Amino acid sequence: MANPTATFETSLGSFNVEIFLDTMPVTAGNFIKLAGKGFYDGLHFHRVINNFMIQFGCPHSRDPNSRQAGTGGPPTGNIQDEFLPTARFSNEPGTLSMANTGRPNSGGSQFFINTVHNRFLDWFDTSTPSKHPVFGRVIEGMDVVKKIESTQTTAGDRPLTPVQVIKISVQGA
């Protein structure tokens, strides 16, 4: 059976992702559950760093000017880290990766889309303590992701012109 896909309808266009439910059931399942409940609809990308990544999923980013944007998580709480030897996906361009605080089991609703190969963020890379499991990849619309990445930002990496995710629709879950 094929993995589910998700369509991100944003203020700068749409893109589609494959969600690795077959190999990353905890992380992918958490994303699918939150998307299905409409948790992500109306939130904004709160951290955009050119030649690195775009980050999303903080409930405080509903207001793109909130000073708390980037500090929140889902009402259901954090999820267990999913570092599986059978799912050694690297943080390559276009992959979705779970954000966390650096502490074990601190992922929740926030994730980022890599725009370059950030192998130092791989959970199996020992060069840094950062460990971010990949749970999906962009399969269509990488040009939209690159458009978001190139948005002008403040010194704090927030887009000057807010970029909103209007709706995320999951198919095949």
Which residue segments constitute the domains of the chain, with CATH numbers given? 5-171 (2.40.100.10)
Candidates 102, 95, 73; CA nearest to 28 is 95
Query: Which run of H or of E encompasses 27?
Result: helix 25-36
**Which residues participate in catalysis according to the annotation?**
47, 52, 55, 100, 112, 121, 132
Candidates 141, 133, 3, 164; CA nearest to 69 is 164
Confidence of residue 173 (pLDDT cuts 50, 70, 90): confident
Q: 53-84, pLDDT tens digit by residue? A: 999 999 999 999 999 999 999 998 999 999 99
What is the C-alpha separation between 81 and 3, in angstroms, rounded? 20
- 147: phi > 0 → left, psi -120 to 50 → alpha, else beta; which? alpha
What is the C-alpha separation between 162 and 47, in angstroms, rounded? 10
Mean pLDDT of the chain: 97
> Strand pairing of 5-10 and 13-19?
antiparallel
Q: What is the pTM of this model?
A: 0.97
